[in-house]
Structure 1
Amino acid sequence: MSPRKDVVEAYIEGFRRGDHELILSCLTEDVVWVLHGYTTLTGKDAFDKEIENAAFTGKPTLTIDQLIEEGDTVVAVGSGQADRREGGTLNFVFSDVFTFTGHKISRLETFQVNLD
């Protein structure tokens, strides 16, 4: 795998483990995270606060089905599950578009479709 795909794999693994340090180590200081249909966050501090959403408990199950790389961009396509704090499970599919500066993620665009 390429070094940038390795960074994306590490980033996703950080979410699987709930490992903020691992996730944040993959990002530039001025990272921008666009969660389409929800919000846009700028900087590591804002990113860190969104890693664990208060509406959910535990750690999500995340599966990467495909990684596609072109130039300074890697796209991850996959699916996941997360336990809702109020009960039940959220099932979803996602496409994350990672833009890199060097070997760190400087922009992330998340497209998520909830299946429930």
Structure 2
Amino acid sequence: MKARSMVMLSACACISLALGACSSPFGSSSREVMYAKPDAREIAWKSLSKSEKKEVDGDWKDAKVSKVIADTSTYRLDDASFAGKEVTLVTIRSDQRELLGDIQKLVDEASGKVIGSSMRK
């Protein structure tokens, strides 16, 4: 009887260890990690034209991120439904900043889309 209990206890311990080793180190399932939203800086970078990318001083990881209210007096909105709403402003340093200013893109992080940009000089 005692031998049978020890075998059962050992089997449970082995199964627990095996299942524990399969869990994600980040505390979430692997599916959640695979579908993480892209960084707003990367979304803005992917929207740049070839000529804009040529004038970038650094790379997309160097961009500055802030929250702003999208308004048509300051920004050119591709989607007018975002007027008056809080969005993410990604500022990418340009080697043409003295002449034109830095490149700025408005990103809606929920949809992962660029919804506008700043009006450069």
Shared fold (TM-score, shorter chain, > 0.5): no
Q: TM-score, normalised by structure 1?
A: 0.33
Q: Greater share of strand residues, 1 or 2? A: 1
| Higher RCO, 1 vs 2 (CA within 8 Å, ≥6 residues apart) | 1
Larger Rg: 2
Q: Greater share of helix residues, 1 or 2? A: 2
Q: TM-score, normalised by structure 2?
A: 0.32
